[in-house]
Amino acid sequence: MTERSPVGGIHSVRAALKFGQGGVDELWIERGRRDRRLEELVALAQAAGVRLRQVERDALERQAPGINHQGVIAWVRVPAARPESELFALLDRLADPPLLLLLDEVQDPHNLGACLRTAEAAGVQAVIAPKDRAVGLTPVVCKVASGAAATLPYVQVTNLARVMERLKERGIWLVGAAGEVEREIYDLDLRGPLGLVLGSEGKGLRRLTREHCDHLGRLPMRGQVESLNVSVAAGVCLYEALRQRSRKTLS
């Protein structure tokens, strides 16, 4: 099932049109507004066969309250999460070593949206999360993800620990982020088949999730704060993996 939801703002609408054309139902443009960037969005919408409507500014305000719409709204269909069975079918089709992101009970939609956006940019093939006590694909998630929710598989599973075991049976190494361990994430080999595992905003990795990781690494904290936002931590870990995977050997 899908839900129609407004996405406002030039950057977010452009991302929705470029990366999720099949999920954009309609584009609303503020009547009488002249802007080169809006004209580019109209051209993208026309090329994708998206319906166009010119509306008054107050119509945009009513449909997207609190959003800095900049004179444009895209009506998008929120994609459904993928079932667990699709994850392993996806893995069977991969030609390159898997790079997966596992999120343990992330509940804030802004954090999930940011994680999806970063994961898609880093070349992650799927994001995996439990069905319970975790946010799904909501309109807020999709807006923050700026198109990534439509292109990157988001897989919800019943039992995360069980899925981790099945991934390990396939030769995928699982590396969890934990602040109290000795080794830093930069000291770990992240080049092969890999699943990076991050915990919730408050409690981090649950005990059972932690026990199913092959290795744990921490992000160095040089200041006074004790931890990073989960989406920021995901970005640091993913791009360290990307850096290593672009090199033949570690120094």
Q: What is the pLDDT of residues 99-115, one digit of tens each?
A: 999 999 999 999 999 99
Numbered ranges of CATH 3.40.1280.10 in the chain? 84-245
pLDDT at 143 (0 to 100): 75
Mean pLDDT, the chain, rounded, equals 90
Predicted TM-score (pTM) of this structure:
0.76
Please report which helix (H) or strand (E) contains residue 3, including its range. Answer: strand 3-8
Higher pLDDT, 19 or 33: 33
Given a contact cutoff of 8 angstroms between Cβ atoms, the answer to whether 169 and 134 are in contact is no
**CATH node for 3-78:** 3.30.1330.30
CA atoms within 13 A on the CB side of 33: 20
Residue 11 has pLDDT above 70, yes or no: yes
pLDDT confidence tier of residue 175, bands split at 50, 70 and 90: very high
Q: Extract the annotated binding site for S-adenosyl-L-methionine.
A: 199, 219, 228
Q: How far apart are CA 233 and CA 229, in angstroms?
A: 6
pLDDT confidence tier of residue 19, bands split at 50, 70 and 90: low
Given a contact cutoff of 8 angstroms between Cβ atoms, the answer to whether 85 and 28 are in contact is no
Q: Edge to edge, what strands does the sheet with 3-8 contain? A: 3-8, 72-78, 24-30, 51-55
Numbered ranges of CATH 3.30.1330.30 in the chain? 3-78
Residues 6+ apart with CB under 8 A from 224: none
pLDDT at 139 (0 to 100): 72
Q: Extract the annotated binding site.
A: 199, 219, 228
Q: In this structure, what DSSP letter does residue 97 have?
A: P
Q: Which of 9-23, 95-109, 225-239 has the lowest mean pLDDT?
A: 9-23
Average pLDDT over residues 162-186: 95
pLDDT confidence tier of residue 209, bands split at 50, 70 and 90: very high
Average pLDDT over residues 131-139: 87
Closest-CA residue to 84 (of 136, 153, 151, 145) = 153
Q: How far apart are CA 228 and CA 48, in angstroms?
A: 39
pLDDT at 114 (0 to 100): 95
Strand 173-177 with 126-130, pairing: unpaired
pLDDT confidence tier of residue 22, bands split at 50, 70 and 90: low
Average pLDDT over residues 67-84: 88
For domain 84-245, give the fold: Alpha/beta knot (3.40.1280)
Residue 131 has pLDDT above 90, yes or no: yes
